[in-house]
A and B are shown apart, each in its own frame.
Chain A
Amino acid sequence: MSIFMASVGFGLITSAVLAIAAVGFTLQFAVTDVLNLAFAAVMTAGAFVAYWINQLGVSIWLALVVAMIACSVLSVALNLGVYAPFQRRGTSPITIVIVSLGMALIIEFGVEAIVGGINVSYTMSQGGTLEAGGLILTTVQLTIIAISLVVMAGAHALLRYTKLGKAMRATAANRSLARNCGIRTGRVITFTWALTGALCGVAGTVFAIDVGSFGPTSTDLFVVLILAAVFLGGPGHAYGAMLGAAAIGLATEVSAAYIQPDYKYVIAFVALLATLAVRPSGLLGART
């Protein structure tokens, strides 16, 4: 397998993980109006919940489901306990971002206080490898890609074809008018936190599977990729986030084949700053 093809393989997996997180983040922002910088910290919490379940001898894929539920509950609690009260009080968006950074510290270092500063790995089999078109991927990697595709298809189906998904888009587009239609936007927003929290749990666990060995601060850099994917596609735009994730995931990993891998994040960083400078509404423009 050529270096290029190998890097494309890594790129696909990174894109797959990134897409789950980016879609979750961007939907959260679109519907709830909270730019939740604690998102990656919740991912970390999810990865460790999965680790704890996994340590009990449960398959990591089942543990993933538990992580999903845990992050869903945690996200709803974050909103009901923290963000929603601040929003009801009319706090400015920038102050809510500061609050979300505070939440990021509480969750990330709360996890560290519980598990200690060590890196851990899941107990799991990597399975066999498959080769197709010059790409060699393990079963686990293929599973991650499959999960991501299922999540993307699910998000698409939800937003386009279900009443609830359309209500989410309506709430994001015009919350006041949505209420005039009889939509209980409070419940739609709570559902959105639950859903995006679940995506966060999936993303955290597959991220931890992908990197192999992870610790409480492992997602600090992944945040850069998530934000780059979200802003590149246009904040609040679900399809933009998918596109952004594909572009950022491939660009970082392919570039890593040719420059020192430690610098691969620079691509994402440049993409993010360039988007903010040139087209703050992102590639796909306005909100979902």
Chain B
Amino acid sequence: MSYLITLVVYGAVDVIACLGLSLQFGIGGVTNFGYIIFQAAGAYVAAILALPPESANGGFQRYIGGFDLPFPLPWVGAAVAGGVLALPFTFLVGRRLRGDFAAVGLLVTAVLLNLLVMNFVPLFNGDAGLASVPAPLQSAVMPVTSSSYQWEFAVGVVVLAAAVFWFIRHITESPYGRALRAMRDNDKVADSLGTNLLSLRTGMLVVGGAIAGLSGGVLVTFISVWSPPAWTYAETIVLFAAVIIGGRGNHVGAVVGAVLVPVGFEESTRLITNANPSLPPNLLPSLQWVAIGLLIAAFLWFRPAGILPERRRLIALPAPSTQPRAHAQQAPAEPDRAGVPDRAVVKVQPAPPSAPTSPPPADTATAPPDIVLEATDVSREFGGVHAVSGVSLSVTRGTLTGLIGPNGAGKSTLLALLAGTDRVSAGTIRYQGQDVTNVAAFRRARLGLVRTFQLASEFKRLTVLENLLSAAPGNRGAGFFGAAAGRRYWRDDEAAAIAKAADILRRFGLEGLANSNAGDLSGGQRRLVEIMRALMTEPRMLLLDEPMAGVHPELARRIGDLLVGLCRDGMTILMVEHELAIMDEFCDPVIVMADGSVLAQGTMAQLRDRTEVVEAYLVG
């Protein structure tokens, strides 16, 4: 009977530890090969909080502290210790260090701390470890040895494990959890969307550490002893094996893994040993480790997603909002029928093609209220080379302005200067009349000036809808404490974001893909996801870097139609693009750059007649 209780308690403790790792590694993508030291810290701190001063028990063991504190303070202290211990390691998880190097650093830390604790006896009694740690809530009425006490302890720990599961799930299924998964899938893009990677990863180390610490605290008050052999670096691998086998990113999987791997292995070892008492003492534990190694490799090869793979988070789209704009949004969804007349309307108005020799719009763009973005004499040099030199241009509200030029003309650099992701060497940039030359990129984004990138940048294991939601600004649940405060605290923000995302998806005709994983889309659809994600920030002006690169021509035209539609509704867009046929169809005016300067501006038809443009393209 008491063996069964022990099994239940061990199982619950392993479940708690695996849940912490499931959050840290499976959701946050932080590979912490030193995870076990956080459990150890919790165990030691719980022990010294519960133990009386070392002199009280005849001095047979040495340790610091000895506070004789009542339950539940040792457990609370264990969790706090695990969380606080994480803080010195945050320098390992910033942007600069490769994830595998950081993991090596943490692994070495685990090996070293074990050695130090083993050798520095005054701290936690060294190699022998601590013993006689008092169990919680024991009394004369219900002594520790009584079966009813043990059962109650077991039930209590199972309830605690359930509470931890609830908490982790709660955090994961919040906007904060979504931000974590986005970071796990593509940290560079999450960074460019304004996510604070260091803060998210620090959060993961601290929360994971606290949960590991709690598991250690619970364990030590049950088994009453704790020593360095209980937390060698290899124990971390057991927990990793449990999470990988159960299913990364699936907390139920972590529970299954915890029961199968640590508990299952202990159990099977015991049964085999009991059946064959003549076996050498070390053989089974050794083979158990070998089996864990084999299981890790086998699962990563044959079933990398684990027994219970991460599931897609399905979110029902709300009914279409009854905005008057709705009919205009429907039009681009059927490009073949509605797209063509739309383009004709847009193209005719600002610069009639019948006047090819009329002055380019730059000359007439002196009416201040219509200029959204204006660059004056902007230059950028890299070590003596002028990537952009003395560029002046202005973009009029409601236009889809194209930016073209041969390789190395400085288009992407100019876009970066306008967006603020790169700093000008000279010149000024004004956005909506305000001088933004020295305003940081994320602040410009908040003012409504938003850029996209050339590389594919979707979060693969998030749905299309989640990709959009990850860019929604000002969600109260996007921080840890907001997420912890509960769904009620952030559900209004979330509902508003979902409604906005649903509108954008419908406008792009992609509502049917809302709940598909972004990683399963075609290349062109991924570009659309990126544009839609930019729209979630409610920009007034978009800077697009080759939104149609590598996209099938048919879809490229559809993207063009959608962009024209956006401009008709008041958006201003500046777009870099290679394929000049696209420029012909959708962009007016078009700005040509060559060798870092603006060469000409006008409709594509006008530009094609200008020899300097032709020369620039042919000479390169």
A-side residues, CB < 8 A to B, are 35, 37, 82, 85-86, 91, 93-95, 97-99, 101-106, 108-110, 112-113, 116-117, 216, 220-221, 223-224, 227-228, 231, 235, 260, 262-263, 265-266, 269, 272-273, 276-277, 280
Contact = CB atoms under 8 A, between A and B. Distances in A.
A25 to B, nearest CB: 11
A36 to B, nearest CB: 11
B100 A105 contact: no
Contacts of A273: 92, 105, 108-109
A112 B290 CA distance: 10
B167 interface: no
A94 B103 contact: yes
Given A99-B300, A102-B292, A265 B286 contact: no
B316 interface: no
A255 B563 CA distance: 67
Nearest to A220: B111
A265 B102 CA distance: 19
Contacts of A37: 104, 107
Interface in B62-113: 91-92, 96-105, 107-109, 111-112
A245 to B, nearest CB: 16
B286 A109 contact: yes
A216 B280 CA distance: 16
B101 A276 contact: yes
Contacts of B287: 109, 113
Contacts of B101: 231, 235, 276, 280
B96 A265 contact: no
Nearest to A96: B100
12 contacts: A95-B300, A101-B33, A105-B290, A105-B293, A109-B290, A110-B286, A113-B287, A116-B282, A220-B111, A263-B119, A273-B109, A276-B102
A116 B281 CA distance: 8
A113 B300 contact: no
B301 interface: yes
B262 to A, nearest CB: 14
Most chain A beta-carbon contacts within 10 A, residue among B33, B91, B105 = B105
B237 A101 contact: yes
Contacts of B233: 220
Contacts of B120: 263
Given A112-B282, A117-B282, A224-B111, 5 more contacts: A82-B297, A93-B98, A106-B294, A109-B288, A276-B102
Contact of A98 (B109, B112, B286, B296): B296
Interface string B277-305: 00011110111111011111100110010
Contact of A105 (B33, B102, B109, B237): B237
Contacts of A99: 296-297, 300
Contacts of A105: 234, 237, 289-290, 292-293, 296
Contacts of A260: 119
A224 B256 CA distance: 33
B115 interface: yes
B240 interface: yes
B272 interface: no
Contact of A224 (B112, B118, B304): B112
B514 interface: no
Contacts of A113: 282-283, 286-287, 290
A99 B240 CA distance: 11
Contacts of A102: 237, 241, 292-297, 300
Given A91-B300, A224-B108, A280-B97, A106 B290 contact: yes
B115 A112 contact: no
B285 to A, nearest CB: 8
B202 interface: no
Question: What is the predominant secondary structure among interface residues of chain B facing chain A?
Answer: helix
Contacts of A82: 297
A237 B25 CA distance: 30
B116 interface: yes
Contacts of B105: 272-273, 276
Give the residue among A104, A266, A272, A276 with the most B Cβ atoms within 10 A: A276
B499 to A, nearest CB: 36
A205 B107 CA distance: 25
Contacts of B45: none
Nearest to B281: A117
A223 B110 CA distance: 12
A93 B70 CA distance: 47
What 6 A-B pairs are tightest by C-beta distance, nearest first? A105-B293, A109-B289, A102-B296, A106-B293, A113-B286, A262-B119
Contacts of B379: none
Contact of A266 (B99, B102, B112, B244): B112
A121 B437 CA distance: 72
Interface string B118-133: 1110000000000000
Contact of A276 (B92, B232, B295): B92
A82 B304 CA distance: 15
B297 A266 contact: no
B250 interface: no
Nearest to B292: A105
Given A102-B293, A112-B282, A227 B108 contact: yes
A269 B112 contact: yes
B195 interface: no
A195 B115 CA distance: 32
A158 to B, nearest CB: 26
Nearest to B297: A102
Given A113-B287, A116-B280, A86 B293 contact: no
A227 B104 contact: yes
A194 B120 CA distance: 41
A91 B33 CA distance: 19
B396 interface: no
Contacts of B280: 116
B413 interface: no
B111 A93 contact: no
A98 B107 CA distance: 11
B112 A265 contact: yes
Contacts of A112: 282, 286, 289
Nearest to B107: A37
Nearest to A230: B104
Nearest to B298: A102
Contacts of B294: 102, 106
Contacts of A103: 293, 297
B109 A101 contact: no
A104 to B, nearest CB: 7
A263 B244 CA distance: 35
A221 B111 CA distance: 7
Contacts of B300: 86, 91, 95, 98-99, 102
A104 B109 contact: no
Nearest to A85: B301
B31 interface: yes
B123 to A, nearest CB: 12
Contact of A277 (B31, B91, B292, B295): B91
Contacts of B290: 105-106, 109-110, 113
